[in-house]
Amino acid sequence: MIRTFQQHRLRKTQLLDGLWDFVFDKENVGLDQSWQTHFPAEHDRMPVPGCWNNELGKYEYEGVAWYRTQVTLENPTHLRLLFHAVMGHADVYWNGQHLGYHYGGFTPFDFTLADVPAGAHELIVRTDSTLTTNTLPYHIVDWFHYGGIIRPVEVQHVSDVWIENMRLTYEMTGETSADVRIQLNIRSMSDTPTEVPVTLYRNEEIFQNDNAYLSAKGSTEIVIEQTWQDLSRWEMDDPALYLIRAVVGQDDRTDRVGFRTVETRDKKIWLNGKEVYLQGVNRHEEHPEWGFAFPNKLMTKELDIIMQMGCNTVRGSHYPQSEYWIDLLDENGLLFWSEIPIWGAAFPAAETDDPLFVERAQVMMDEMIERDFHHPCIIFWSVHNEIDTRSQQAYDLSIKMTHLVRSKDSSRLVAYATMHPMSDICLGLFDVIGINYYGGWYFGHAEFDEMLEVFHKRCNEYGAQDTPVLMTEFGGAGVQGDSGWEPRLFSEDYQAELLSKSLKLFRSDAKISGTYVWQFADTRGQLMSHQPHFRDRARSFNNKGLVNEYRKPKLAYRVVKGIYKNQQGPYDWGSTLS
């Protein structure tokens, strides 16, 4: 399942999950040797979805790889080929013909094919996971950037007239009423002009009947505006959701929405007019056995663990996460921070204005908003993490990115995470500021107070005196199982004590509206035998997880849970760190 609910009842869909033929192209000769028409006879097989780095002997490989499968059709049909996510560069070939290229990693792309004959068809994908100075992320990055077709590939059989897109926007006009606008984009593959009935349902009840007229191979847009009454709002403790279904001729599409408002006032975040204090964790969608191809079953378990510790929010660090995961958050009333993989700690300012990089960032942002627009749980679109926000280049990039986000979606807050809280020049550009600061870890002890004092003053100078501030990252490493009598670096004890002390400080600062602990689970680091970076990461992992990579709790999990749930007890550490 891609979503937790069924998106199509009439449109026939099929997932191409399974073992695909697979071959590395280490010398990058595949294009010259036309592998798109002559796939190498000697090849391996690889699960799709999956990441090749999780398979034996392929642990470190970054580069080009080719995949092949067959699609067999009983009858001639029109097809929509939907790739939910392929890492890096992807070129898609259908029976040897190049359908197109996509750059990205975590967002979907698709191709439509008219009048495909019955029989067997060959689908080949050339992927390239190589990171460079203008990829997202930058080539030096603190997580392992797996390669492969990481999310499902879907074949949809579409009828002559089909729904290309559906978008619902609304303005709350009262506690339970909203002005709603639904836009349907409909496309025809037929050689003759067509008229089809259009019916719209809200939770199975019809709210609009219409007709669409399409010229031969034409497309049309239908816009419906209505005032809806008696709506239940999407509240964190009672997240009401509405299924919106369009049926157009033989085709259908269902999406899901929730009604709520989000705003900022007096340095606070308000949901449906009520102030919320955020208690969260940073989550990579990564696991040692599956890489980025994170199974749905584990998501439900992970969410249980996160909810049991008293979280009301998750930061999707550092890339668009699975739709299934975001659906679960919608259903459980947790707020989500969603971002694209601009990870800057090692990203020089001079390279953040490379036009190709900027274009890729804009496309990815655009694709993320397009895909996830309807999720009520998402309240932040975050545009970058830890770039050099002391520089003019970062300032210019922030202007471009905030402008893009606001032009596409004015209903959410535009955010970023800074690692330069005492010298950042971008503070005034955002609706919400996130601070990443590793006092007690990279900087020794007790530096938070001083940092926050300078930071709050700078917010006043930069016109951000009313902007909510979140601690988006803080913490330290604790290797699971390493505990003793003293809180030593890398021990579970040190990590727990550092988090306890930091959380207490942040929670007593009225100018801070919430915290995201770095991080939920230990994650594989970008350690490569031939590269110098991140060699200080014990076990090849970023060990700052509250749970280890197999989701087993560390002491820090229990300590943070105690604080988030306001429980006093054995895990309520007094501060012994100086």
State which residue, 142 or 447, has the beta carbon closest to ligand ADA: 142
- Rule CB under 6 A: choose which of 91, 251, 252, 386 binds ligand ADA: 386
DSSP state of 553: B
Name the minimum Å distance from CB 432 to ligand ADA: 16
End-to-end CA distance of the chain: 50
Name the minimum Å distance from CB 286 to ligand ADA: 12
State which residue, 154 or 522, has the beta carbon closest to ligand ADA: 522
State which residue, 83 or 474, has the beta carbon closest to ligand ADA: 474
- Rule CB under 6 A: choose which of 156, 322, 338, 385 binds ligand ADA: 385
DSSP 256-278: EE----EEEETTEEEETTEEE-E
Residues 117-146 that bind ligand ADA (CB under 6 A): 142
Q: Are 361 and 136 in contact (CB under 8 A)?
A: yes
Structure tokens at 272: 């449906």
Rounded to 5 degrees, φ, ψ at 449 are -60, -45
State which residue, 243 or 489, has the beta carbon closest to ligand ADA: 489
State which residue, 357 or 516, has the beta carbon closest to ligand ADA: 516
State which H helix or E strand residue 243 sits in.
Answer: strand 242-248
Give the span between the Cα atoms of 369 and 361, in whole angstroms.
12
One character per residue 336-375, x = contact with ligand ADA (rule: CB under 6 A): ---------x------------------------------
> Reduced to 3 states, what is the DSSP secondary structure of residue 177?
coil
Name the minimum Å distance from CB 40 to ligand ADA: 37
Give helix 296-308 / helix 323-332 axis angle, nearest 10°: 40
In 42-193, the DSSP E strands lie at 44-48, 64-73, 77-83, 88-94, 97-104, 109-116, 119-128, 153-158, 161-172, 178-188
Name the minimum Å distance from CB 142 to ligand ADA: 3
**Residue 226: left (phi > 0), alpha (psi -120 to 50), or beta?**
beta
Name the minimum Å distance from CB 110 to ligand ADA: 30
- Rule CB under 6 A: choose which of 518, 520, 557, 573 binds ligand ADA: 518
In Å, what is the CA distance from 345 to each residue of 106, 120, 422, 474? Answer: 21, 48, 15, 14
Residues 469-498 that bind ligand ADA (CB under 6 A): 473
Name the minimum Å distance from CB 442 to ligand ADA: 7
| Closest residue by beta carbon to ligand ADA | 142
One character per residue 42-81, x = contact with ligand ADA (rule: CB under 6 A): ----------------------------------------
Strands 313-316 and 413-418: what pairing?
unpaired
| Widest CA span in the chain | 80
446 binds ligand ADA per the rule CB under 6 A: no
> Reduced to 3 states, what is the DSSP secondary structure of residue 415?
strand
Name the minimum Å distance from CB 388 to ligand ADA: 13
Residues 142-171 that bind ligand ADA (CB under 6 A): 142
State which residue, 144 or 564, has the beta carbon closest to ligand ADA: 144
Give the span between the Cα atoms of 440 and 463, in whole angstroms.
30
> Reduced to 3 states, what is the DSSP secondary structure of residue 494?
helix
- Rule CB under 6 A: choose which of 542, 545, 560, 562 binds ligand ADA: 542
Give the span between the Cα atoms of 411 and 84, in whole angstroms.
25
Name the minimum Å distance from CB 139 to ligand ADA: 15
**Contacting residues toward ligand ADA, per CB under 6 A:** 142, 318, 345, 385-386, 419, 436, 473, 518, 542, 544
